[in-house]
Structure 1
Amino acid sequence: MLAPYYHATNWIHLPAPLFASKEYNLSVTPESEVRISGVYEYHSELFRAIHAAESIEESSRIFQGYLEVLFNLDEKVRGKKVASYLRLLRGWLFDANSSEGAVLKGWVESRFGIVPFYHRQVISSIHTTAYHEYTRERMHPRLNRNMVYYQLDLLYAYTQTIIRRFFPDYLPRIKLYRGVNDINDHLIIERYGKNHACIEHNNLVSFSAEKEIAQQFGDHVMEVDVPFTKILFFSGIIHRQGFAGEMELLVIGGKYDTRFSYF
């Protein structure tokens, strides 16, 4: 039987099984905070500047400029730009099972201790060929270089700061939607009724803020209440990079009380 797997250690000083639990989701308050070790301490001036910004546009300029300088993101190697968080986001938005998707899932595994159970194929255990292939893909030097995990640490912290500063309606939770073709393809932990269950979602998954958009991606729509501390990124907070389209959010997975409807 497929079962979720969590590492014994992570970077957030919160046990992975607890962070991934539905009980955690319900316990989050507007004052809750999840910090990746060292990020705010080493980059305190950046986050003070972002918090003091008058608009999301100004915050975005500060954040992008800081990362461009810190990680030399404008630099080219053999005619190609160095690996960056922006490339990973674009790759994910095109295909969550891409190589970029593997790197992002690997970052979630590293920082939060939650192992993916799907990437191109079912990953039933960390001792399987499927896990080995996913690991090899997420570690490929074409994408996993230039301290890209540290770039993602800063992206997560930036998103959390932006939510607190400009999106009070996201506190402590926001209702999100995901269109799927078959609910039974998902890891159902417990059923509460015909249209209500506890589902373990993959360690990183996309949701939409708009139910009508989610309906375009499947005959079933899953509805979950996501705590803001599990949001890695959403369109609209990084300007001038082509992310301002449909309202897609990248959400750290785990167990969620999930309701679903049929169309």
Structure 2
Amino acid sequence: MATEDDPERWYCTNLVGLSSSLLASTAFNRHPRSLCIHGTRAANPGLFRLLESCRAQDEAAEVFQHYMALQFNLADSRREAGETGYRSSSYVELLRGWGFDSSSPQGAVLKGWVESRFGLLPVFHGERLERFPSPAWVRYLEEKYHSRFHNNCIQLQLDMLYEYCQWSLARFGDGSRNTAGHVSLWRGSNDCECQLVEGRLRDGCCVMRLNNLVSFSSRPDAAEVFGDWLLQAAVPHAKMLLFPGLLADPVLRSEGEYLVIGGCYEVDTHRGWPH
């Protein structure tokens, strides 16, 4: 039975107008609904007017990058960093940090944003996040609130990235040939048994509770280097934060990486991938 020190009993904020328990469920993944972060598009009508004139994803990516640079003074922050050592935080910097290590301070900020906007708690950051308090939880909380990454409306930047991603998926798709509304993606993992919710890995299909933000790949050969087990899941567009080609910056493109809001997923499991 869950107790008060079990994080699953905690209250979490949610800005998408749908219960967090539903968002975390396999039922939502099977029958997804469009999501929007309250107030983000209304507060940035100029961006979405400009995007509507774009005829291709690469054109939209340039528009988004330029708008974000002006809105958050990101171009000048790079110059100031060289002159003063101070640098304003940016969404691209967080994504780069995630690419090096998803359990980095940048990864904690991204997981904290998912917590705040979707109400989904992380289950892993360097180690399993279980009962509270614990050293693992203390480290996560310290890193997700680190002032180094909260000096330039970083939560709003991520809100805009999500809304831009959702706009792009609705307008251009993600460039794959997958079923409308879902993309079949791959993830390599060794840390599987502790994520099981229903079924067994060796049965070829099961339900797993993934972290609140996870990386997937469009290619099984790229995913298999990250673990002995290959997980294949149908990921709804509504749970995507980033897909290859979304941004003009080449961040996270090398493995065809997608950043996906987590929760419980029905996955097909493969012990390695036959070449």
Q: CA deviation at 1:164?
A: 1.2
Q: 1:57 corresponds to which residue?
A: 58
Compared CA separation, residues 25 and 155, structure 1 to 2 (3 A): same
Per-residue deviation, 1:242 = 4.2
Checking the alignment, whether the CA contact within 8 Å between 1:224 and 1:257 is kept in structure 2 is yes
Tell me which of 8, 12, 28 is aligned to 1:24: 28
User: Quick one: which of 185, 198, 202 aligns to 2:211?
Assistant: 202
Partner of 2:74: 73
Q: Report the counterpart of residue 15 of structure 1 in structure 2.
A: 19
Match of 1:96 in 2: 102
Contact 1:4–1:117 under 8 Å retained in 2? no
Deviation, structure 1 residue 180: 1.5
Shift of the alpha carbon at 1:126?
A: 4.5
> 163, 167, 170: which is aligned to 1:161?
167
Distance 1:131 1:13 in 2: 27
Deviates more, 1:211-220 or 1:114-123: 211-220
Assess, with a 3 A threshold, how the Cα gap between structure 1 residues 14 and 137 changes in structure 2: closer, same or farther: same
What is the root-mean-square deviation in Å for CA atoms of aligned residues? Answer: 2.0
Contact kept, 8 Å, 1:115 with 1:203, in 2: the verdict is yes
The aligned residue for residue 188 of structure 2 is 179
Gaps of at least 5 residues in structure 1 are: none
- More moved, 147-156 vs 50-59: 50-59
Query: Paired residue for 1:118, among 108, 119, 124?
Result: 124
Secondary structure of 1:256's aligned partner? strand
Worse overlay, 170-179 or 247-256: 170-179
Deviation larger for 242-251 or 2-11: 2-11
Deviations 1:165-192, CA, capped at 9 Å, x for gaps: 11174531111101123532x4211116
What CA deviation, in whole Å up to 9, does each residue of 1:29-73 have, x standing for no partner? xxx310001001111221232133011121111111111111111
CA distance in 2, matches of 1:155, 1:60: 11
**Matched residues, number:** 259
Q: Spell out, residue by residue over 1:104-126, the C-alpha distance to the aligned partner (whole angstroms, 9 max, x if none).
A: 00000011011101101211135
Decide which of 183, 188, 196 is 2:196's aligned counterpart. Answer: 188
CA distance in 1, matches of 2:127, 2:191: 16
Deviation, structure 1 residue 147: 0.6
| 2:115 paired residue number | 109
- Return 232-241 or 251-260, whichever deviates more: 232-241
| One-letter amino acid of the structure 1 residue matched with residue 59 of structure 2 | E
Q: Alignment partner for residue 225 of structure 1, among 197, 219, 234?
A: 234
> Partner letter of residue 171 of structure 2?
R
Question: Normalising to structure 2: TM-score of the pair?
Answer: 0.88
The runs of 5 or more residues in structure 2 that have no matched partner are none
Q: Which amino acid aligns with 2:166?
A: Q
Partner of 2:92: 86
1:46 corresponds to: 47
Q: Percent identity?
A: 36
Query: TM-score, normalised on structure 1?
Result: 0.91
Map Cα deviations across residues 58-92 of structure 1 (whole Å, 9 max, x no partner). 11111111111111112225234310000000000
- CA apart distance, 1:127: 3.8
Relative to structure 1, is the Cα distance of residues 221 and 106 closer, same or farther in structure 2, using a 3 angstrom cutoff? same
Which of residues 204, 223, 228 in structure 2 aligns to 1:214? Answer: 223
> Match for residue 271 of structure 2?
262
Mapped contact 2:14–2:116 kept (Cα < 8 A): yes
